C-alpha cells in the first residue's frame, strides 16, 4: 500500500504541471483559474473574431470578458501577459478596462472541442488566448494577442523597469525617437531585449553586441521587419514579422528604426 502511494506520488511529480491553469495576479489579489472553472462562469459567451491574429482567419471562441477577471485593476496599472514559450506582452489597464470600442476577451480552449493547430507549426494556441473585438478602435497591436497564456501579473511601465531601454530625458516627448520607443514596446519588446533589459528572450538582444542598424541598411531592416524571411530564409524562423499597414504602419515602422538608430549610441551592458 505504502509503496503504491509512493509510486503514485512519484508519478505525479514526473507529470508536467496541469497545462490548463491560469494564474491571474492584478496586484490587488491573486487567483488561479482552471479551464473547468472558467468554462462554468455565467459570463461565458460565444465570441466571433473576424480577423484573428494568431490564426489569420475568422474564429469562434468560448470566452469571458477579460476585465471581469481583473478585479481591482486601476486605470494607471500595467499588466504583463506571459506565455509558456517565453513570450511576454505588456498591456496598460486603461485598454483592458474598455467596455466600448476595443474589448479584450479571454478565450478558453475546451478540451472536448480543441482548437485547430496554429499555422506554421506554432502548435496549440490554448489553453488560454487573449483576443479582441474591434481592435482597431484602440490600435491594438498584433503582439497584444498573447496565446498559450499561463500567467497575468502586475508590472510597471517599461521605462521605469528597464531604464537602459529608454531614450535620454532630453529627448522631447513629440520626437520620432519617443514615438519609436512606444512602438518598440508594443511590438518588438514582446520577444527581444535591448541593452540586456526586458522580460522576453525569444529573439536576440537588439543592441548588444550589435544594433541591427549597424549591420543592415534601413531598406533591408525595413523589409526584414515586414517579412523576416526576406533577409535570411530558413524554416525554423520564429519571428513573425509585420506584413501589413494594419499590423505596423509605415510611420510606426520608420519611428522604430529611428529609435534603434538612436539606441545604437546608447549601448550599456547589463
Using CB under 6 A as the criterion, which residues of the chain lie in contact with ligand HEC when the complex forms? 143, 187-188, 190-192, 202-204, 206, 212, 225, 228, 231-232, 237-240, 256
Nearest to 131 by CA among 226, 59, 70, 195: 59
Please check whether residue 200 is in contact with residue 192, taking contact to mean a CB–CB distance below 8 angstroms.
yes
Supply the minimum distance, in Å, between the C-beta of residue 3 and ligand HEC. 47
Supply the minimum distance, in Å, between the C-beta of residue 39 and ligand HEC. 28
**Is the CB of 86 or the CB of 101 nearer to ligand HEC?**
86
Supply the minimum distance, in Å, between the C-beta of residue 89 and ligand HEC. 9
Supply the minimum distance, in Å, between the C-beta of residue 192 and ligand HEC. 6
Supply the minimum distance, in Å, between the C-beta of residue 252 and ligand HEC. 8
**Is the CB of 73 or the CB of 263 nearer to ligand HEC?**
263
Please check whether residue 67 is in contact with residue 97, taking contact to mean a CB–CB distance below 8 angstroms.
yes
**Is the CB of 25 or the CB of 124 nearer to ligand HEC?**
124
> Which residues lie closer than 8 Å to 183 by C-beta, 6 or more apart?
248, 252, 253, 255, 256, 259
Supply the minimum distance, in Å, between the C-beta of residue 41 and ligand HEC. 30
- State the greatest distance between any 2 C-alpha atoms of the chain, in Å, as a whole number: 72
Cell 553586441 belongs to: 209
Supply the minimum distance, in Å, between the C-beta of residue 81 and ligand HEC. 13
Cell 549601448 belongs to: 267
Please check whether residue 178 is in contact with residue 171, taking contact to mean a CB–CB distance below 8 angstroms.
yes
**Is the CB of 134 or the CB of 238 nearer to ligand HEC?**
238
Please check whether residue 231 is in contact with residue 220, taking contact to mean a CB–CB distance below 8 angstroms.
yes
Cis geometry, peptide bond prior to residue 127 (ω within 30 degrees of 0): yes
> Which residues lie closer than 8 Å to 2 by C-beta, 6 or more apart?
none
**Is the CB of 148 or the CB of 187 nearer to ligand HEC?**
187
Nearest to 35 by CA among 20, 25, 17, 18: 20
**Is the CB of 61 or the CB of 184 nearer to ligand HEC?**
184
Distance from chain centroid for Cα 20: 19
| Distance separating alpha carbons of residues 230 and 72, to the nearest angstrom | 45
**Is the CB of 19 or the CB of 239 nearer to ligand HEC?**
239
Amino acid at each position: 500500500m505504502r509503496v503504491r502511494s509512493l509510486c503514485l506520488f512519484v508519478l505525479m511529480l514526473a507529470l508536467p504541471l496541469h497545462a490548463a491553469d491560469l494564474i491571474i495576479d492584478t496586484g490587488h489579489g491573486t487567483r488561479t483559474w482552471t479551464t473547468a472553472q472558467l468554462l462554468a462562469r455565467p459570463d461565458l459567451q460565444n465570441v466571433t473574431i473576424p480577423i484573428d491574429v494568431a490564426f489569420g482567419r475568422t474564429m469562434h471562441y468560448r470566452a469571458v470578458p477579460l476585465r471581469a477577471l481583473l478585479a481591482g485593476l486601476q486605470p494607471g496599472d500595467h499588466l504583463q501577459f506571459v506565455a509558456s514559450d517565453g513570450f511576454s506582452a505588456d498591456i496598460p489597464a486603461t485598454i483592458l478596462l474598455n467596455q466600448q470600442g476595443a474589448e479584450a476577451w479571454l478565450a478558453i480552449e475546451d478540451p472536448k472541442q480543441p482548437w485547430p493547430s496554429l499555422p506554421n507549426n506554432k502548435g496549440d494556441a490554448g489553453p488560454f488566448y487573449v483576443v479582441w473585438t474591434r481592435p482597431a478602435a484602440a490600435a491594438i497591436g498584433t503582439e497584444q494577442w498573447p496565446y498559450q497564456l499561463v500567467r497575468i501579473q502586475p508590472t510597471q511601465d517599461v521605462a521605469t523597469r528597464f531604464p537602459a531601454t529608454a531614450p535620454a530625458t532630453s529627448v522631447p516627448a513629440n520626437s520620432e525617437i519617443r514615438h519609436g520607443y512606444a512602438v518598440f514596446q508594443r511590438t518588438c519588446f514582446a520577444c527581444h531585449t535591448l541593452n540586456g533589459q526586458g522580460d522576453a528572450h525569444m529573439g536576440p538582444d537588439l543592441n548588444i553586441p550589435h544594433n541591427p542598424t549597424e549591420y543592415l541598411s534601413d531598406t533591408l531592416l525595413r523589409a526584414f521587419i515586414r517579412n523576416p524571411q526576406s533577409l535570411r530564409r530558413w524554416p525554423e524562423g520564429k519571428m513573425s514579422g509585420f506584413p501589413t499597414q494594419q499590423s505596423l504602419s509605415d510611420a510606426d515602422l520608420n519611428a522604430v528604426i529611428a529609435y534603434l538608430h538612436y539606441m545604437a549610441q546608447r549601448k550599456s551592458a547589463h
